[in-house]
Chains A and B, each alone.
Chain A
Amino acid sequence: DQQVKQNSPSLSVQEGRISILNCDYTNSMFDYFLWYKKYPAEGPTFLISISSIKDKNEDGRFTVFLNKSAKHLSLHIVPSQPGDSAVYFCAASAYNQGGKLIFGQGTELSVKP
Protein backbone atom coordinates (compact mmCIF):
# COMPACT_ATOMS: atom_id res chain seq x y z
CA ASP A 1 0.00 0.00 0.00
CA GLN A 2 1.94 2.96 -1.31
CA GLN A 3 0.76 6.13 0.39
CA VAL A 4 3.00 8.48 -1.60
CA LYS A 5 3.36 8.04 -5.34
CA GLN A 6 5.49 9.66 -7.98
CA ASN A 7 4.09 8.27 -11.20
CA SER A 8 6.79 9.58 -13.52
CA PRO A 9 10.04 7.66 -13.08
CA SER A 10 11.89 10.12 -15.30
CA LEU A 11 11.62 13.60 -16.79
CA SER A 12 13.79 15.33 -19.38
CA VAL A 13 13.80 19.12 -19.69
CA GLN A 14 15.79 21.67 -21.69
CA GLU A 15 18.02 24.05 -19.76
CA GLY A 16 16.24 27.30 -18.96
CA ARG A 17 12.77 25.75 -19.15
CA ILE A 18 10.47 24.83 -16.29
CA SER A 19 10.66 21.40 -14.64
CA ILE A 20 7.47 20.16 -12.99
CA LEU A 21 7.67 17.10 -10.76
CA ASN A 22 4.46 15.62 -9.43
CA CYS A 23 3.51 13.65 -6.34
CA ASP A 24 0.20 12.15 -5.16
CA TYR A 25 -0.69 10.88 -1.71
CA THR A 26 -3.56 8.93 -0.22
CA ASN A 27 -3.34 9.53 3.53
CA SER A 28 -5.39 12.58 4.56
CA MET A 29 -3.55 12.65 7.91
CA PHE A 30 -0.34 13.86 6.24
CA ASP A 31 0.32 17.43 7.34
CA TYR A 32 3.86 18.13 6.21
CA PHE A 33 5.42 17.51 2.82
CA LEU A 34 9.00 17.68 1.68
CA TRP A 35 11.05 17.40 -1.48
CA TYR A 36 14.52 15.90 -1.44
CA LYS A 37 17.13 15.85 -4.16
CA LYS A 38 19.54 12.94 -4.48
CA TYR A 39 22.71 12.56 -6.48
CA PRO A 40 24.20 9.07 -7.07
CA ALA A 41 26.15 7.66 -4.12
CA GLU A 42 25.00 10.51 -1.86
CA GLY A 43 22.27 10.89 0.71
CA PRO A 44 19.02 12.75 0.01
CA THR A 45 19.41 16.51 0.42
CA PHE A 46 16.51 18.55 1.73
CA LEU A 47 15.21 20.99 -0.87
CA ILE A 48 11.93 22.56 0.18
CA SER A 49 8.90 21.78 2.31
CA ILE A 50 5.31 22.84 2.81
CA SER A 51 2.87 22.58 5.66
CA SER A 52 -0.68 21.46 4.98
CA ILE A 53 -1.97 24.88 6.09
CA LYS A 54 -0.36 26.45 3.03
CA ASP A 55 -0.84 25.92 -0.68
CA LYS A 56 2.44 27.35 -1.92
CA ASN A 57 5.99 27.78 -0.72
CA GLU A 58 8.77 29.38 -2.70
CA ASP A 59 12.54 29.36 -2.28
CA GLY A 60 14.53 30.87 -5.09
CA ARG A 61 14.06 28.80 -8.24
CA PHE A 62 12.03 26.17 -6.37
CA THR A 63 8.32 26.37 -5.65
CA VAL A 64 6.15 23.68 -4.13
CA PHE A 65 2.39 23.71 -4.64
CA LEU A 66 -0.04 21.73 -2.50
CA ASN A 67 -3.58 20.86 -3.55
CA LYS A 68 -5.10 19.18 -0.50
CA SER A 69 -8.47 18.44 -2.08
CA ALA A 70 -6.72 16.54 -4.87
CA LYS A 71 -4.07 15.12 -2.51
CA HIS A 72 -1.45 16.32 -4.95
CA LEU A 73 1.73 18.32 -4.72
CA SER A 74 4.18 19.49 -7.31
CA LEU A 75 7.67 20.94 -7.41
CA HIS A 76 8.44 23.61 -9.99
CA ILE A 77 12.01 24.47 -10.89
CA VAL A 78 12.44 27.65 -12.92
CA PRO A 79 14.72 28.05 -14.75
CA SER A 80 16.09 24.52 -14.85
CA GLN A 81 19.86 24.12 -14.84
CA PRO A 82 22.04 21.11 -15.75
CA GLY A 83 23.12 20.90 -12.09
CA ASP A 84 19.50 20.17 -11.18
CA SER A 85 19.84 16.74 -12.82
CA ALA A 86 19.23 14.28 -9.99
CA VAL A 87 16.55 12.03 -8.51
CA TYR A 88 13.82 13.95 -6.70
CA PHE A 89 11.90 12.33 -3.87
CA CYS A 90 8.61 13.53 -2.48
CA ALA A 91 7.99 12.69 1.20
CA ALA A 92 5.16 13.17 3.65
CA SER A 93 4.67 12.94 7.38
CA ALA A 94 1.82 13.03 9.85
CA TYR A 95 2.25 14.85 13.15
CA ASN A 96 1.04 11.90 15.24
CA GLN A 97 3.32 9.29 13.66
CA GLY A 98 6.55 10.04 15.47
CA GLY A 99 8.22 11.87 12.61
CA LYS A 100 8.16 8.99 10.17
CA LEU A 101 8.66 10.14 6.56
CA ILE A 102 6.86 8.21 3.82
CA PHE A 103 8.70 8.54 0.52
CA GLY A 104 7.62 8.30 -3.07
CA GLN A 105 9.70 6.20 -5.43
CA GLY A 106 11.48 9.16 -6.96
CA THR A 107 11.60 10.92 -10.34
CA GLU A 108 14.88 11.18 -12.21
CA LEU A 109 15.23 14.65 -13.71
CA SER A 110 17.59 15.23 -16.59
CA VAL A 111 18.24 18.83 -17.62
CA LYS A 112 19.88 19.03 -21.03
CA PRO A 113 22.08 21.97 -22.05
Chain B
Amino acid sequence: DTAVSQTPKYLVTQMGNDKSIKCEQNLGHDTMYWYKQDSKKFLKIMFSYNNKELIINETVPNRFSPKSPDKAHLNLHINSLELGDSAVYFCASSQAGVTNTQYFGPGTRLTVL
Protein backbone atom coordinates (compact mmCIF):
# COMPACT_ATOMS: atom_id res chain seq x y z
CA ASP B 1 0.00 0.00 0.00
CA THR B 2 2.70 2.44 -1.08
CA ALA B 3 1.43 6.01 -1.01
CA VAL B 4 3.59 7.52 -3.78
CA SER B 5 5.35 5.14 -6.13
CA GLN B 6 7.76 5.73 -8.97
CA THR B 7 9.09 3.52 -11.73
CA PRO B 8 11.79 2.75 -12.52
CA LYS B 9 13.97 3.20 -9.43
CA TYR B 10 17.14 3.21 -11.51
CA LEU B 11 17.52 4.29 -15.13
CA VAL B 12 20.79 4.15 -17.05
CA THR B 13 20.77 5.40 -20.62
CA GLN B 14 22.85 6.94 -23.37
CA MET B 15 23.01 10.60 -24.31
CA GLY B 16 20.41 11.55 -26.90
CA ASN B 17 17.87 8.93 -25.86
CA ASP B 18 14.28 9.65 -24.81
CA LYS B 19 13.04 8.22 -21.51
CA SER B 20 10.03 8.38 -19.21
CA ILE B 21 9.58 8.12 -15.46
CA LYS B 22 6.17 7.22 -14.05
CA CYS B 23 4.59 8.33 -10.81
CA GLU B 24 1.39 7.22 -9.11
CA GLN B 25 -0.18 8.24 -5.81
CA ASN B 26 -3.01 6.48 -3.97
CA LEU B 27 -3.54 9.17 -1.33
CA GLY B 28 -6.43 10.84 -3.14
CA HIS B 29 -4.41 14.06 -3.44
CA ASP B 30 -5.21 16.58 -6.14
CA THR B 31 -1.73 18.02 -6.64
CA MET B 32 1.43 16.29 -7.84
CA TYR B 33 5.00 17.51 -8.28
CA TRP B 34 8.34 16.62 -9.80
CA TYR B 35 11.55 17.59 -7.98
CA LYS B 36 15.15 17.14 -9.06
CA GLN B 37 17.98 16.46 -6.62
CA ASP B 38 21.28 17.32 -8.23
CA SER B 39 24.80 16.21 -7.40
CA LYS B 40 25.03 18.85 -4.67
CA LYS B 41 21.96 17.31 -3.02
CA PHE B 42 19.72 20.35 -3.59
CA LEU B 43 16.06 19.45 -4.06
CA LYS B 44 14.44 21.80 -6.57
CA ILE B 45 10.92 21.83 -7.92
CA MET B 46 10.43 21.33 -11.64
CA PHE B 47 6.68 21.03 -12.21
CA SER B 48 3.39 20.89 -10.39
CA TYR B 49 -0.02 19.71 -11.57
CA ASN B 50 -3.36 20.29 -9.89
CA ASN B 51 -6.23 18.11 -11.16
CA LYS B 52 -4.34 17.49 -14.41
CA GLU B 53 -3.63 21.19 -14.92
CA LEU B 54 -0.07 22.55 -14.99
CA ILE B 55 0.33 25.18 -12.25
CA ILE B 56 4.08 25.39 -11.71
CA ASN B 57 6.66 25.23 -14.47
CA GLU B 58 10.07 26.29 -13.22
CA THR B 59 12.91 27.16 -15.56
CA VAL B 60 13.30 23.69 -16.99
CA PRO B 61 14.48 22.88 -20.54
CA ASN B 62 11.72 22.11 -23.06
CA ARG B 63 13.15 18.61 -23.33
CA PHE B 64 11.33 17.87 -20.08
CA SER B 65 7.59 17.43 -20.46
CA PRO B 66 5.25 16.33 -17.69
CA LYS B 67 2.02 14.56 -18.52
CA SER B 68 -0.88 13.92 -16.19
CA PRO B 69 -3.46 11.47 -17.56
CA ASP B 70 -5.47 11.73 -14.34
CA LYS B 71 -4.97 13.27 -10.92
CA ALA B 72 -3.38 10.08 -9.53
CA HIS B 73 -0.61 9.99 -12.12
CA LEU B 74 2.12 12.38 -13.20
CA ASN B 75 4.70 11.13 -15.66
CA LEU B 76 7.91 12.83 -16.74
CA HIS B 77 9.18 12.51 -20.28
CA ILE B 78 12.69 13.59 -21.11
CA ASN B 79 13.81 13.94 -24.72
CA SER B 80 17.38 14.07 -26.06
CA LEU B 81 18.96 13.25 -22.72
CA GLU B 82 22.14 15.11 -21.77
CA LEU B 83 24.89 14.30 -19.28
CA GLY B 84 23.66 17.12 -17.02
CA ASP B 85 20.28 15.44 -16.65
CA SER B 86 21.87 12.82 -14.40
CA ALA B 87 20.21 13.26 -11.02
CA VAL B 88 17.63 11.76 -8.70
CA TYR B 89 14.07 12.70 -9.62
CA PHE B 90 11.39 12.68 -6.94
CA CYS B 91 7.66 12.72 -7.41
CA ALA B 92 5.46 14.11 -4.63
CA SER B 93 1.80 14.74 -3.94
CA SER B 94 -0.29 16.89 -1.64
CA GLN B 95 -3.81 18.05 -1.04
CA ALA B 96 -4.20 21.71 -2.00
CA GLY B 97 -5.09 23.92 0.93
CA VAL B 98 -3.69 26.30 3.49
CA THR B 99 -1.06 23.82 4.53
CA ASN B 100 0.98 22.03 1.94
CA THR B 101 2.44 18.83 3.30
CA GLN B 102 3.93 16.95 0.39
CA TYR B 103 4.55 13.23 0.40
CA PHE B 104 7.42 11.95 -1.67
CA GLY B 105 8.06 8.86 -3.72
CA PRO B 106 11.27 6.82 -3.37
CA GLY B 107 13.02 8.57 -6.25
CA THR B 108 14.40 7.56 -9.64
CA ARG B 109 18.15 7.72 -10.09
CA LEU B 110 18.83 8.68 -13.72
CA THR B 111 22.32 8.19 -15.08
CA VAL B 112 23.11 9.48 -18.55
CA LEU B 113 26.28 8.05 -20.11
Contacts and interface: CB of A to CB of B under 8 A. Distances in A.
A43 B23 CA distance: 13
Interface residues of A, number: 24
Contacts of B105: 43
A97 B33 CA distance: 13
Contacts of A45: 104
A25 interface: no
A93 B107 contact: no
Q: Which of A46, A89, A101, A105 has the most CB atoms of chain B within a 10 A radius of its CB?
A: A101
A99 B56 contact: yes
Given A41-B106, A99-B31, A101-B100, 5 more contacts: A43-B105, A45-B104, A46-B103, A49-B99, A49-B101
Contacts of B35: 101
B33 A43 contact: no
The secondary structure that dominates the B interface is strand
A98 B101 contact: no
Minimum-distance CB pairs A-B, first 9: A43-B104, A103-B43, A99-B100, A98-B55, A44-B104, A43-B106, A98-B56, A93-B100, A100-B45
Interface in A12-48: 32, 34, 36, 41-46
Contact of A99 (B33, B43, B90): B33
A43 B90 contact: yes
A51 B99 contact: yes
B96 interface: yes
A36 B48 CA distance: 19
